[in-house]
C-alpha cells in the first residue's frame, strides 16, 4: 500500500512541481506566455492519452511488471527534462515523463484492487489513502518546487524523481504482488489515435487566443481532432480486442463517475495553476512562500479524504457526496474570482481555497470508487486506466480552455497587475462554471440503486 500511495503521490507531484518553477523556466529556456502551459500539458496529454494503453498492458502482462517499466521510463524522462537546454527538448522530456506515469497509475490501481478488493471495508480505506496521496503530491510538488527553485535551480524539480524511482525499483520485487497476466493483443492504433486526437484538441484550444477563435487554423485543427477521435471510436467498435471495449460503458454508473472525474480535473487543475501565478506575479511571492501558501489547503484535503469521506459515504451514499463536493468546489472558485491586484493571502486566497479544497475532498473518493468498482474484475486495469484518463484529460482540456479565457481577459499582459488579476479572475470563474456543470451532470445521470457488488461500501444507507 505504501508503494501504491507513493506512485499516486509521484505522478501527481510531477504535474504540480513545475508550477512554481515556471517563471524561471520561461526565462532560461525561452518559453512564451502562450506556450508555457505546455510544460504542464505535454505531461498531461501523454499521461491521459496513454493511460488506456497502460491499463490494457497491466491486464495482459501483469500489473507489477508494467508498474516497474513505468518507473524506468519516468526516471529517464525526468533526467532528460532536467538536462534540457531548449523548449523542444523540455516538452519532449515532459511527454516521456507522462508516458511513464501512464503505465504506473493504472498498474497501481490494479494492484490496489488485487490486494484489497475482496474486503469492502479495507478497499474503502485503501481508496481513501490512495486518494489522499493525490493532493499530498500536488501540494508537496508546489512546496518542494518552491524550495528547490528558491535555493537550488529549476532542473532539480525533475532530478528529484531519480532517487525515488531507484528506491521503488529496488523495493518493488520484495513487497509487491506480481499481478495476473492473460493472453490478448494490443490495440496500438487505438492508443495512437486517442493520444493524437486529445493532443490536437488541447493544442487548438491553447493556440486559439493567438490564432483567433474564428480563424481557419483553429477550426481546422479542432475538426482534425474530432475526426481522429471519431476514428478511435470506430476502431474500438470494429476490433476483436480493442483498447477500450465499448461494452464497458454498459456498466451501471461507470460513465457518470468518469464524467465526474473529468470535470473535477477540468475545474481543479486550472485553479491550482492560476492560484500559483496569482501568488507570484500579482502578490509578489517568491518561489518558497508561494509553495508554502498552499499547505493549509492540502492538509484539509487529506484530512477530508482520510477521515471524513469514508464516514460520509457510508452515511449518505456516493451521489450526495459527489454533488455536494462539486457545489463546494464551484463556490470556492467563485470566491477566488474576487481576487484583487492589491490583495492579501489571508483575505483573497486562504478562505476561498479551503472551501474549494473541502469540495474536492468530498467528491474525489466516491467518484473514483464507483468508476473502478463498476467494471468486471478482468477489466480492472482498463477501468483504472479509464478513470485516470478522465481526470487527466479533463485537467488538460480544462487548463487549455481556462488559458484561453485568462489570456483574452488580460493574463498575457505581464507587469500590469490589474490586467493580470482580471485574467486570473476570469479563469476562476470559468473553472467554477465547469464544477457547477459537473454537479448538475452527476445529479441527473448517476443512479442511486442497483449498486454493483464490486463497489467498495459505497452503498447508500438511509
pLDDT digits (tens, 9 = 90+) for 238-250: 888 787 788 777 7
DSSP type of residue 283? S
Query: Residue 47 above 90 pLDDT?
Result: no
- Which of 171-175, 180-184, 361-365 is least confident? 180-184
> Is the separation of the CB atoms in 90 and 84 below 8 Å?
yes
Task: Tell me the pTM.
Answer: 0.78
- For residue 57, the model assigns a pLDDT of 84
Highest-scoring range by mean pLDDT, 73-82, 175-184, 200-209: 73-82
Query: Residue 38 above 50 pLDDT?
Result: yes
Band (pLDDT 50/70/90 cuts) for residue 421 is very high
Find all residues with CB under 8 Å of 443, minimum gap 6, and list them. Answer: 319, 323
Query: Residue 457 above 70 pLDDT?
Result: no
Number of Cβ atoms within 10 Å of the Cβ of 171: 13
Band (pLDDT 50/70/90 cuts) for residue 123 is confident
Query: Residue 361 above 60 pLDDT?
Result: yes
Query: Residue 449 above 90 pLDDT?
Result: no
Helices (H), 30-119: 38-61, 63-83, 87-116
| Cell numbers that stand for 221 in this block | 485543427
| Cell numbers that stand for 85 in this block | 537546454
- For the segment 171-197, the average pLDDT, to the nearest whole number, is 77
* Longest CA–CA separation in the chain, Å: 61
Query: Residue 460 above 80 pLDDT?
Result: no
Q: 486518494: which residue's cell? A: 131
Band (pLDDT 50/70/90 cuts) for residue 384 is confident
Query: Residue 26 above 60 pLDDT?
Result: yes
Highest-scoring range by mean pLDDT, 53-67, 91-105, 387-401: 91-105
- Which of 205-209, 251-255, 347-351 is least confident? 205-209
What Rg value do the Cα atoms of the chain yield, rounded?
A: 21
Query: Residue 169 above 90 pLDDT?
Result: yes
Band (pLDDT 50/70/90 cuts) for residue 443 is very high
Query: Residue 450 above 60 pLDDT?
Result: no
- For residue 71, the model assigns a pLDDT of 95
The tens digit of pLDDT for each residue in 258-300 reads 899 999 989 988 898 888 889 888 998 876 787 778 788 888 8
* Alpha carbon separation from 406 to 29, 211, 432 (Å, rounded): 23, 15, 14
Residues of the chain with pLDDT > 70, as a percent, come to 90
Please give the residue that has the higher pLDDT: either 44 or 54: 54
- For the segment 437-457, the average pLDDT, to the nearest whole number, is 68
Q: What's the mean pLDDT when you consider all of the chain?
A: 83
- For residue 34, the model assigns a pLDDT of 64
Helices (H), 278-410: 287-292, 295-303, 309-316, 318-336, 350-373, 380-406
DSSP type of residue 97? H
**DSSP secondary structure letters along 169-210:** HHHHHHHS-----------HHHHHHHHHHHHHHHHHHHHHHH
Band (pLDDT 50/70/90 cuts) for residue 426 is very high
Closest CA to 244 of 226, 222, 229: 229
Query: Residue 427 above 70 pLDDT?
Result: yes
* Alpha carbon separation from 203 to 34, 99, 197 (Å, rounded): 11, 18, 10
Amino acid at each position: 500500500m505504501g508503494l501504491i500511495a507513493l506512485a499516486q503521490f509521484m505522478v501527481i507531484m510531477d504535474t504540480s512541481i513545475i508550477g512554481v518553477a515556471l517563471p524561471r523556466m520561461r526565462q532560461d529556456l525561452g518559453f512564451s506566455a502562450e506556450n508555457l502551459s505546455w510544460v504542464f500539458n505535454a505531461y498531461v496529454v501523454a499521461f491521459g492519452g496513454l493511460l488506456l494503453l497502460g491499463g490494457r498492458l497491466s491486464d495482459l502482462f501483469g500489473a507489477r511488471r508494467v508498474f516497474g517499466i513505468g518507473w524506468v521510463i519516468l526516471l529517464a524522462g525526468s533526467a532528460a527534462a532536467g538536462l534540457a537546454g531548449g523548449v523542444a527538448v523540455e516538452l519532449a522530456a515532459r511527454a516521456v515523463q507522462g508516458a511513464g506515469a501512464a503505465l504506473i497509475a493504472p498498474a497501481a490501481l490494479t494492484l490496489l484492487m488485487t490486494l484489497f478488493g475482496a474486503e469492502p471495508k479495507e478497499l474503502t480505506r485503501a481508496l481513501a489513502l490512495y486518494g489522499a496521496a493525490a493532493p499530498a503530491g500536488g501540494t508537496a510538488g508546489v512546496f518542494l518546487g518552491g524550495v528547490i527553485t528558491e535555493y537550488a535551480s529549476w532542473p532539480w524539480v525533475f532530478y528529484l524523481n531519480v532517487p525515488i524511482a531507484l528506491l521503488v525499483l529496488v523495493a518493488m520485487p520484495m513487497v509487491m504482488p506480481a499481478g495476473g497476466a492473460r493472453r490478448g493483443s494490443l490495440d496500438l492504433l487505438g492508443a495512437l489515435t486517442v493520444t493524437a486526437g486529445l493532443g490536437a484538441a488541447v493544442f487548438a484550444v491553447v493556440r486559439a487566443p493567438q490564432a483567433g477563435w474564428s480563424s481557419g487554423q483553429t477550426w481546422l485543427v479542432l475538426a482534425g481532432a474530432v475526426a481522429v477521435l471519431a476514428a478511435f471510436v470506430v476502431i474500438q467498435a470494429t476490433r476483436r480486442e480493442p483498447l477500450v471495449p465499448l461494452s464497458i460503458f454498459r456498466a451501471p454508473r461507470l460513465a457518470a463517475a468518469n464524467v465526474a472525474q473529468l470535470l473535477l480535473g477540468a475545474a481543479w487543475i486550472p485553479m491550482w495553476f492560476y492560484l500559483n501565478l496569482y501568488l507570484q506575479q500579482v502578490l509578489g511571492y517568491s518561489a518558497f512562500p508561494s509553495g508554502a501558501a498552499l499547505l493549509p489547503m492540502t492538509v484539509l484535503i487529506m484530512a477530508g479524504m482520510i477521515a471524513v469521506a469514508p464516514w460520509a459515504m457510508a452515511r449518505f451514499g456516493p451521489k450526495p457526496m459527489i454533488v455536494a463536493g462539486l457545489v463546494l468546489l464551484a463556490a470556492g472558485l467563485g470566491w477566488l474570482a474576487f481576487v484583487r491586484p492589491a490583495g492579501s493571502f489571508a483575505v483573497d486566497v486562504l478562505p476561498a481555497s479551503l472551501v474549494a479544497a473541502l469540495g474536492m475532498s468530498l467528491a474525489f473518493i466516491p467518484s473514483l470508487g464507483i468508476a473502478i468498482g463498476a467494471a468486471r474484475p478482468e477489466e480492472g486495469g482498463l477501468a483504472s486506466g479509464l478513470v485516470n484518463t478522465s481526470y487527466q484529460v479533463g485537467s488538460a482540456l480544462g487548463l487549455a480552455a481556462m488559458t484561453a479565457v485568462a489570456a483574452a481577459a488580460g493574463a498575457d499582459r505581464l507587469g500590469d497587475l490589474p490586467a493580470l488579476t482580471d485574467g486570473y479572475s476570469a479563469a476562476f470563474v470559468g473553472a467554477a462554471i465547469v464544477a457547477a456543470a459537473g454537479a448538475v451532470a452527476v445529479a441527473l445521470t448517476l443512479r442511486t440503486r442497483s449498486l454493483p457488488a464490486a463497489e467498495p461500501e459505497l452503498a447508500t444507507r438511509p
